[in-house]
Copies of this chain bind each other. A is one copy, B any other.
């Protein structure tokens, strides 16, 4: 009986993977608002009853699919804050211009305005995205490179805010000069 249970377990895992793959595909193509359980069921060939057995709500499914969007980025450690931040901002501006999550993220931000579960998801994604900035700033404080009473969260807003602003609001270029200007201003 154990053998057939294992086969059943594997079948369940395969079904869940197909649902997640299709949800992720719709998410990247059309944003959070474009994901429909009907359409996920149709395209994956998995019944809605089965989908709702694994994910109690559309939000729960979206949250699982979104976990594929960003992996935890590592924090550089050059011993110099400006240099660490330059690496992080170069990576950020590159991702904002090319990564899937950059076009999907506005739909998550929008859904978070009205959906409590998505709001919790977004808070988790944000914490994850900002973790390496926090790490390099805290290390710089420990080294005495910047005053220990400088507000970390203010500094992150000053460093990262201008890049989000350019990607989604003003839609201007994020050049090497721009990265330089932000660092010169934020960490004089």
Q: Which of B113, B123, B157, B186 contacts A106 (CB 8 A)?
A: B113
Q: Which of B123, B157, B188 contacts A165 (CB 8 A)?
A: B157
Could you tell me the distance between the alpha carbons of A126 and B172 in the complex, rounded to whole angstroms? 12
Q: Is B162 in contact with A157, judged by CB distance below 8 angstroms? A: yes
Interface centre among A123, A156, A165, A185 (most CB of B within 10 A): A165
Q: Point out the residues of chain B lying under 8 angstroms from A153, CB to CB.
A: 170, 172
- Neighbouring B residues of A33 by C-beta, 8 Å: 33, 110
- Within 132-185 of A, Cβ neighbours of B (below 8 Å) are at 151, 153-154, 156-158, 160-166, 168-172, 178, 181-182, 185
CB distance from A176 to the nearest CB of B (A): 13
Residues in B neighbouring A170, C-beta threshold 8 A: 126, 130, 153, 156-157
Cα distance A131–B109 when bound, in Å? 25
Tally of this chain's copies: 2
Residues in chain B near residue A126, CB distance under 8 A: 169-171
Structural contact, B114 and A30, CB atoms closer than 8 A: yes
Interface size on A, residues (CB 8 A): 38
Measuring CB to CB, which residues of chain A are less than 8 angstroms from any residue of chain B?
30-31, 33, 103, 106-107, 109-110, 112-114, 123, 126, 130, 151, 153-154, 156-158, 160-166, 168-172, 178, 181-182, 185-186, 188
Other A-B pairs beyond A126-B169, A157-B172, A158-B162, 18, CB < 8 Å: A106-B110, A107-B110, A109-B168, A130-B170, A151-B181, A154-B162, A157-B165, A157-B178, A157-B182, A158-B185, A161-B162, A161-B165, A162-B162, A164-B164, A164-B165, A164-B169, A165-B165, A185-B185
Q: List 10 A-B contacts (CB under 8 A).
A: A103-B113, A106-B110, A109-B168, A110-B110, A151-B181, A154-B182, A161-B163, A161-B164, A161-B166, A162-B162
